Amino acid sequence: MKRLLIMASLLGATPALADEGMWTYNNFPSSKVKEKYGFAPTQDWLDKVRLSSAKFGGGCSSSFVSADGLVMTNHHCARGCIQQLSTAKKDFIANGFYAKTQAEELQCPALEVSQLLDITDVTEQLNAATKGLTGKAYADGLKAEMAKLEKACATSEQFRCDVVTLYQGGKYNLYKYQRHQDVRLVFAPEQAIAFFGGDPDNFEFPRYDLDVSFLRVYGKDGKPAKTEHYFKWSEHGAKEGEATFISGHPGRTSRGLTVSQLETLRDMTLPKTLFRLSEMRGQLTEFQTRGAEQKRTSTNLLFGVENGLKANKGKLEQLSDKGFFAQKVAAEQELRTKVNADPKMKAKYGSAWDEIARAQQTYRDLRKEYESMENGLYSQLFGLARSLVRAADELPKPDAERLRGFNDANLPQLKVQLMSKAPIYPELEVLQLTFSLTKIREELGTEHPFVKKVLGKESPRALATRIVKGSKLADLKVREQLLSGGKAAIQASKDPLIQLASLVDPDARAIRKRYEEEVDAVVRKNSELIAQARFDVYGTQIYPDATGTLRLSFGAVKGYVEDGKQVEPFTSMGGTFGHATGEEPLALPKSWLAAQKTVKDTTPMNFVTTNDIIGGNSGSPVINQNAEIVGLVFDGNIQSLGGDYGFDESVNRAVSVHSDAIVEALQKVYKADRVLQELRPGATSAKGGSGL
C-alpha cells in the first residue's frame, strides 16, 4: 500500500476536502456537496434518509425498504441470526432461507433494529456537570450526568437513549432511538454466494458477492411494523460517475487521536490483537476439520476472526507507513504550535497532549492485568455469567453509580441479551475458554496470584471442560432465576461459571477502576480539550471520528488505479460465474449454477464508490439523490482499511452489491417474488418455485 496521502483529516485542519467525511446528520455539508455534485440535500431529504436508516444489531447498518417493516442488510450482518436459527438438519447458512409466506418468517433470537428519531446537543449540560473536575471525580461526574440524561430521555421500553461522545469529547449529543426487538428473517441466500471468494477475496476488488439479506420488524401486536419512512428501489441502479450517499453506522475511526495514542495502537494494541486473532484463526480452522457439525457451528465465529484479522492488518500497515505517520506527527505539531502561540489557548489546552501521553504510559503499565482480568475471559456462556454476576451487584445501586451498561436505560437491551434463545455450542465454549485461560496464563505468567486463583491446580483445558460441562447457564430458566434472584441467588449458586465469574470479578473491577480513572478519564478529559482547541483554531465545519452512530457520507461511482492498473468500478454477474473454480470458497451454490443460463450476464454485480466508510457501515444502503436504493454496502477495498486513520480519495473505496444484482438474483435464481413485489410494487417478475 504505497500512496501519496493528502488528507484533510491528517492535517486535522481545513474543512474536509473531496469526498471525505462521515458526517453527522446535524452538521451535514450540503453546500460542499452541491459544489461538487450539483445537489444540495435539504433538511427534509436528510430527515427522510435518517428515518429510513436503521442500526442493525451490535455492529451493522441497515435500511427500511418497504412500508411493512422490511429491512435490508448484509448476509454477514444477519449471519448470527441465521446461524442461531439453523440446526444440524436445517442449515440455513449453507442452504439459504426464504419465507414463502409471512407466516414462515422466523424470529431472530436476540436482535435489535433501531431507528434514530432525534438528536439533541447536550454538550453544555455535560460540561457544566464536570466543570473543574479531574481523574475519578471527572469520570464519575461524566458518567452520572450521562445516565441522568439517558434515563430522562428513554420514557418507555420502546426507546433507547445514548449520550454520544463526538469529537473526542468536543461535543456530546443525546441520540434517541426507536427500538424494534421482534425481528424476523425473510430471505437469505446461501453463504457460498453471500461470501463468494471467502477470506481470500475479503476486502478485495474486483468482487462478486451477493451479500444481502432481508428481515422484517414486527410490532408488539405480532404484526409487521408499519414504517412510514423507507427507501424506494431505483429503477436503473448505480451508474458510473453518479453521486451516491451512504447512510449508516461507521463503528470507529481514530483520525483525531494524538500521536501518543497512535503509537500505542501501532506498537502494542494492534500487534497484540493480531497475534491473538491469528492464533484463534488457526484453532478454528483446525476445529472445522473435526466434522460437519463443528464446521457449521464455528463458521460464524471464524468469519468474524478472519474479518478482524484483515481489517486490523490493514490498519497496522497504515500506521507502519513512515510517510503517513510523519504527516500525523506534523499535523499535531502544527496544531500545538498554533495553540502555544496564543497565551490564552496555551493555558487552556497546552498540556493536553502530554497528559494523554502520560496516560498511555500508565496504560502500558496496566495493560497485562487490565486485559487479562477485565477482558481476558470470554465465551458466550462466560459473557452471560459475568452479566448476571454484575447485574446482581449493580442493579441495587442508584442509577448514577452503576457500571456503564447496567443503567436503567440499558436494561431492556441487557434483558434481551441475557434471555436470548441463541444456541450455545459446548465444544466451542470449551475451545474459547481454554484459549482465553491459556492467554491469561501466558500474559501474567504461571506464578501470578490471579492465574493461581483462577486455575488452581488445573490446566486451562481441564478447567474449561469441567465448568462448561457443569454449567446450567444454557438453560433460559436458570438464567431467569439468577437474574430475578439478585445477589442472594448468585451467592447461593453452585453453577461453576457463576462461581468463576464471581471469583474473578473483584480483581476485574479493581483493575477496571484504575483503568477508568488513571487512563480513560485522563484521555477523555484531555481529548475534549484538544477537540475544543481544534474548533478554536480550525472552526466547526469538520466531522467527528466515527462512533458507531448514524452518519451520512457522499461520493460517486468511480474506479481507481492499483499497482499501475485501472480497476473498473463494476463487476458483472457473468464475471461471477467466470470467477468460480468449483472448490470452496470459489464454489457457487447449486441454485446459481442451475440459473446460470437465465441470468443476464451484463447485470452489474458489485461496484465501488468514493464514499468514506469504515467497519460498521456493512449493510448501509447506497442511495442516489432521489433517496432511492442503488446498492448495498458490504465491504471496503483493501486500501480503505487505513481509513481508520485518514481518508485518501484516490484509492479508498466502499464496495457494494448493485441493486440490479439483487433484483436479478431474487427473480432468476431464487424466484423470491414476495420480496421482489414488496421492494418494487407494481413491477413484473418471473413465476415459479423458489430456487432455495
Stretch that binds a copy of itself, among 126-134, 278-286, 377-385, 516-524 (CB under 8 A): 278-286
Q: CB atoms < 10 A from the CB of 31, how many?
A: 9
Cell of 526: 484531555
Question: Parallel, antiparallel, or unpaired: how do β-strands 570-572 and 171-180 relate?
Answer: unpaired
Q: Residue 582, class by beta-carbon neighbours within 10 Å (0-12 exposed, 13-18 middle, 19+ buried)?
A: exposed
The values of phi and psi at residue 182, to 5°, are: -100, 100
Phi/psi region, residue 543 (left: phi>0; alpha: psi -120 to 50; beta: rest), is beta
Site string for a copy of itself, 622-661 (x = CB under 8 A): ----------------------------------------
CB of 245 to a copy of itself, least distance (A): 31
Q: Which is nearer to a copy of itself, 220 or 364 (CB)?
A: 364
Residues 64-123 that bind a copy of itself (CB under 8 A): none
Q: Is the peptide bond before 206 cis (omega within 30 degrees of 0)?
A: yes
CB of 442 to a copy of itself, least distance (A): 6
Stretch that binds a copy of itself, among 35-43, 174-182, 229-237, 274-282 (CB under 8 A): 274-282
End-to-end distance of the chain based on CA atoms, in angstroms?
41
Q: CB atoms < 10 A from the CB of 155, how many?
A: 10
Site string for a copy of itself, 203-242 (x = CB under 8 A): -x--------------------------------------
Q: Which is nearer to a copy of itself, 302 or 675 (CB)?
A: 302
Distance from C-alpha of 591 to C-alpha of 595, rounded to nearest angstrom:
6
Spatial contact of 142 and 126, defined as CB atoms under 8 Å apart: yes
Identified binder of a copy of itself from the candidate list 296, 313, 315, 658, rule CB under 8 A: 313
CB of 502 to a copy of itself, least distance (A): 22
Identified binder of a copy of itself from the candidate list 217, 316, 557, 627, rule CB under 8 A: 316
Stretch that binds a copy of itself, among 284-292, 381-389, 497-505, 600-608 (CB under 8 A): 284-292
Stretch that binds a copy of itself, among 200-208, 370-378, 518-526, 674-682 (CB under 8 A): 200-208
Q: Which is nearer to a copy of itself, 247 or 360 (CB)?
A: 360
Identified binder of a copy of itself from the candidate list 3, 100, 276, 367, rule CB under 8 A: 276
Distance from C-alpha of 397 to C-alpha of 406, rounded to nearest angstrom:
10
Distance from C-alpha of 672 to C-alpha of 627, rounded to nearest angstrom:
24
Q: Which is nearer to a copy of itself, 346 or 579 (CB)?
A: 579
The answer to whether 431 contacts a copy of itself (rule: CB under 8 A) is: yes
CB of 494 to a copy of itself, least distance (A): 23
Q: Which is nearer to a copy of itself, 48 or 367 (CB)?
A: 367
Q: Which is nearer to a copy of itself, 272 or 513 (CB)?
A: 272
To the nearest 5 percent, what fractions of the chain are helix, strand and coil?
Answer: 50, 15, 35
Helix and strand totals (H; E) in the chain: 27, 20
Q: Tell me the DSSP string of 521-544.
A: HHHHHHHHHHHHHHHHHH-S-SPP
Q: Is the peptide bond before 585 cis (omega within 30 degrees of 0)?
A: yes
Distance from C-alpha of 238 to C-alpha of 240, rounded to nearest angstrom:
7
CB of 37 to a copy of itself, least distance (A): 33
Residues 445-484 that bind a copy of itself (CB under 8 A): 445-446, 455-459, 462
**CA nearest 211: which of 374, 344, 348, 78?**
78
The answer to whether 509 contacts a copy of itself (rule: CB under 8 A) is: no
Give the number of residues in contact with a copy of itself, rule: CB under 8 A: 44
The answer to whether 275 contacts a copy of itself (rule: CB under 8 A) is: yes
Q: Which is nearer to a copy of itself, 484 or 581 (CB)?
A: 581
Cell of 447: 506464578
Q: Which is nearer to a copy of itself, 278 or 625 (CB)?
A: 278
Stretch that binds a copy of itself, among 42-50, 370-378, 580-588, 625-633 (CB under 8 A): 580-588
CB of 380 to a copy of itself, least distance (A): 19
Q: Which is nearer to a copy of itself, 317 or 628 (CB)?
A: 317
The answer to whether 323 contacts a copy of itself (rule: CB under 8 A) is: no
Spatial contact of 600 and 8, defined as CB atoms under 8 Å apart: no
Q: Which is nearer to a copy of itself, 208 or 670 (CB)?
A: 208
The answer to whether 357 contacts a copy of itself (rule: CB under 8 A) is: no
Cell of 396: 441495587
Contacts of 486 (CB under 8 A, 6+ apart): 392, 395, 396
Cell of 683: 413491477
Identified binder of a copy of itself from the candidate list 44, 124, 221, 583, rule CB under 8 A: 583
Identified binder of a copy of itself from the candidate list 68, 267, 342, 628, rule CB under 8 A: 267
Mutual orientation of helices 521-538 and 322-341 as an angle, nearest 10°? Answer: 70
Distance from C-alpha of 137 to C-alpha of 143, rounded to nearest angstrom:
10
Q: Tell me the DSSP string of 571-620.
A: EEHHHHHHH--SSTTSPPPHHHHHHTTTS-TTSEEEEEE-----TT-TTP
CB of 272 to a copy of itself, least distance (A): 9
Q: What is the dihedral of CA 333, 170, 541, 357, to 10 degrees?
A: 20
The answer to whether 566 contacts a copy of itself (rule: CB under 8 A) is: no
Site string for a copy of itself, 586-625 (x = CB under 8 A): x---------------------------------------
The answer to whether 562 contacts a copy of itself (rule: CB under 8 A) is: no
The binding site for a copy of itself (CB under 8 A) comprises 197, 199-201, 204, 263, 267-268, 271, 274-276, 278-287, 290, 313, 316, 320, 322, 431, 441-442, 445-446, 455-459, 462, 579, 581-584, 586
